[in-house]
Structure 1
């Protein structure tokens, strides 16, 4: 049943199955807040055409609305503080915050607002929305896998997802680069995005 519940392995009479499914759907349908302490919003860029540089954002907020009866009505929002970018190198982080890249003084926030959600079958889903960076808004499609639902030791009802997407940074005005003597460029245009999300159901 995927994102909104799974069928139990215990055999049941055919007439009872819809009721059990409905109970699972009802328990997961609702509004959720993304837990930043257990969520990763990351990216990977190709550097000098020979290796990958990985980074993430450590300061963000987000919400999910899951609709068990109709997954297409599910929604997601994320707001990311661009100054929270981390790549494991302070000089590189400073360069990324500068006018060559994210211009964080002028554009402190990156946002995503979903416009469409769809089931791909099983635990796989796809969400499309508007990604805004540097004041430029372009569509972004994220493929998601539902990792399950559980109640943690503190009584929080959680759901988890893993997601991935690819963008061309130049489409958002991120065009800085440097040519290599051997050919090619220092930073790839294609950026891989990855998401590991834990969200808590609102009371």
Structure 2
């Protein structure tokens, strides 16, 4: 093999290696991640809550964010709005139908850097047995070494969706037709 061809192949492999995203596990064990929801209550106030149990992984490289990926699974039975009777109703067939669909999920299909520095994470969101495209607007919080010898990366994301898009038709009025989700994700790089 001639030297210039070998050099070109070596340079090409170095660029591909540099653009490889690192793999992370979302740190739910240390409670450094959360999925919170917010829904207007009749237009007068808000019901806020969270999912206490979820897991996931992501890949990220700051120099090539388009190579990033994320996959999250949510235990819908872990819904917690700090009100036991309301939580029971939200888990019922009127809303999340957790007896039939105990898991929600998000799997990314693409990541794009936006002009304002945010990331648009496009993916398939499954809730109540329905899968539809969803876009999460995400901000990089930071990344670096932790005090325990690991490496971490963190993000905050926001999205909104209509309940009816996921087969939830319980009518609380037009002000309560959409759910806002906030995701705080801190991942520990896999070895």
> Contact between 1:79 and 1:110, CA under 8 Å: does it hold in 2?
yes
Structure 1 unaligned spans of 5+: 1-21, 179-184
Q: Which residue of 1 aligns with 2:88?
A: 94
What is the alpha-carbon distance in structure 2 between the residues aligned to residue 84 and residue 186 of structure 1? Answer: 26
Please say if 1:164 is aligned against 2:151: no
Displacement of 1:68 in angstroms is 4.2
C-alpha spacing 1:149/1:122, structure 2 compared with 1 (3 Å): farther
Give me the whole-angstrom Cα distance separating, in 2, the residues matched to 1:59 and 1:110: 11
CA distance in 2: counterparts of 1:27 and 1:112, whole angstroms: 24
Unaligned runs of 5+ in 2: 1-13
- 1:101 and 1:59 map into 2 onto residues whose CA distance is 18
Are residues 1:45 and 2:39 paired? Answer: yes
Query: Is 1:115 the counterpart of 2:109 in the alignment?
Result: yes
Q: Say how many residue pairs are matched.
A: 174
1:51-91 superposed Cα distances (whole Å, 9 cap, x missing partner): 01111101011110114453212100000000000001011
Matched, 1:82 2:76: yes
Q: CA deviation at 1:26?
A: 5.2
- After TM superposition, the structure 1 = structure 2 runs for residues 1-203 of structure 1, keeping only pairs within 5 Å, are 29-36=21-28, 37-121=31-115, 123-178=117-172, 185=173, 188-203=176-191
Over 4 Å off, 4+ runs: 25-28
TM-score, reference length from structure 1? 0.80
What is the Cα deviation at residue 48 of structure 1? 1.7
> In structure 1, how many angstroms separate the alpha carbons of the residues matched to 2:55 and 2:34?
11
Q: Calculate the TM-score normalised by the size of structure 2.
A: 0.85
SS at 1:140 equivalent: strand
